[in-house]
Amino acid sequence: SFTPRVFSGIKPSGDLHLGNYLGAIRRFVPLQDTHETIYCVVDMHAITVWQDPEDLKRWTYEIAAAYIAAGVDPKKSIIFNQSQVVEHAELSWVLNCVARMGWMARMTQFKDKAGENSEQVSLGLFAYPSLMAADILLYKATAVPVGEDQRQHLELTRDIAKKFNHDFAKQIAAAGFEDGFFPITETLATGPAMRVKSLKDGSKKMSKSESSDLATIYMMDDADLIAKKIKRATSDAEPLPSEAAGLESRPEAENLVGIYAALANQSVDQVLAEFGGKGWGIFKPALADLSVSVLAPIAEEMKRLVSDRGEMDRILRDGADRARAIAQPIMADVRSIVGF
């Protein structure tokens, strides 16, 4: 039987936070039982904006450690570092020559990230979605568990795959591939996508690059700091409502309750059945305790792993070997299809 292959990755461009955990890393774990799973630390994506080389290296180890500490099993899944499998760069060049300037110019994330500074950002930032297409297509991954923010990039991946299949149809057929060469990758639905918001502003997502330190819960924060951040989180003067509808137009309250629900594996209504009518002085300490009980064991295991570079290097080398074993034959086919 055919086991669908999943590819996903996180950029080593900052300290991991609760949003990365709930929105991405935690969701990687159950997929291991139903899919062939490839989880990458995408360091080549990280350098599309300036990264201090020492930070880049430290964050690379931290992300791999976070995958493992959260329950990604390096025996079941392939965990590796993008730059260690040079075929990512090789395929991305071929795909750069398939993708059209007009397609790339429509990417809203580039426009957001470049802002008014679009003349000064790197060429890599512009080409980023084509490298992402290479990440996925290098493994002929059929499904990627991406959030709404990546939907446009995944559409671009499909457009690139279709154009490659079309432009080289003759060579692809001659090589014996019956339904085109690259798959048309779908978004993998893994339940409602959790968007964790900033603790200081419920209209902004929690992110590695948040300006206020108190706005973001980092995976490696200690218990006291987590409690302090939650205590100081923006909320309102109202008690908690008794059902989810009561959170409408209360974005900060909705965020905090949503975080509780996600961490407790409960629905928002279940959380409100317990806390409805209670004030923040009751809810916030409960949320802090819950956050610490989930994050502390993971942080402890991350610290143990990152302090053992020998073990991390072994895991990443083994992952890169297994990634290459899939990627190299596919890249060899691409080379021959293109006429290299």
Active site residues: 113, 205, 208
Q: Which one of residues 5, 6, 7, 19 is an interface residue with ligand ADP (CB under 6 A)? A: 19
Nearer to ligand ADP, 195 or 303 (CB): 195
Q: Cβ closer to ligand ADP: 212 or 336? A: 212
Closest distance of CB 17 from ligand ADP, Å = 6
Tokens 């902004």 appear where? 204
- Residue 265 Rama label (left phi>0; alpha psi -120 to 50; beta): left
Residue nearest to ligand ADP (CB): 23
**Binding of ligand ADP by 147 (CB under 6 A):** yes
The runs of H, that is alpha helices, within 25-184 are 26-31, 43-46, 53-70, 87-96, 101-105, 108-114, 123-137, 151-167, 169-174
| The CA-based dihedral angle spanning residues 169, 174, 176, 177, taken in that order and rounded to the nearest 10 degrees | -10
CB 269 within 8 A of CB 244: yes
Of 5, 6, 7, 24, the one binding ligand ADP (CB under 6 A) is 24
Question: What is the contact mask toward ligand ADP in residues 243 to 282, using x (rule: CB under 6 A)?
Answer: ----------------------------------------
Which tokens belong to 43?
A: 């360091």
Residue 108, Cα to own-chain centre: how many angstroms? Answer: 18
DSSP code of 41? E
- 23 near ligand ADP (CB under 6 A): yes
The nearest distance, CB 109 to ligand ADP, in angstroms, is 9
Binding positions for ligand ADP, 194-213, rule CB under 6 A: 194-196, 205-208
E strands, the chain, are: 5-10, 36-41, 78-81, 143-144, 186-187
- Interatomic CA distance for residues 70 and 301, integer angstroms: 9
Please list, in sequence order, all residues whose beta carbon lies within 8 angstroms of the beta carbon of residue 287, skipping any fewer than 6 positions away.
230, 256, 259, 260
Restricted to residues 166-195, the positions that interact with ligand ADP (CB under 6 A) are 194-195
Q: Which is nearer to ligand ADP, 25 or 292 (CB)?
A: 25
Determine if 12 is a binding residue for ligand ADP (CB under 6 A). Answer: no
Handedness of CA 29, 32, 35, 38 (dihedral sign): positive
Query: Shortest distance, CB of residue 22 to ligand ADP, whole angstroms?
Result: 6
Mark the segment that binds ligand ADP (CB under 6 A) among 15-23, 64-72, 102-110, 117-125: 15-23
Q: How far is the CB of 31 from ligand ADP (least distance, A)?
A: 13
Binding region for ligand ADP (CB under 6 A) out of 5-13, 69-77, 224-232, 300-308: 5-13
Handedness of CA 97, 101, 103, 106 (dihedral sign): positive
CB of 214 to ligand ADP, least distance (A): 15
3-state secondary structure of 178: coil
| In contact, 97 and 78? CB cutoff 8 Å | no
- Candidates 13-21, 155-163, 172-180, 325-333; binding stretch for ligand ADP (CB under 6 A): 13-21
- For ligand ADP, the closer of residues 17 and 284 by Cβ is 17
Q: How far is the CB of 29 from ligand ADP (least distance, A)?
A: 14
Helices (H), 138-222: 151-167, 169-174
Give contact residues for ligand ADP (rule: CB under 6 A).
10-11, 13, 19-20, 22-24, 147, 149, 194-196, 205-208
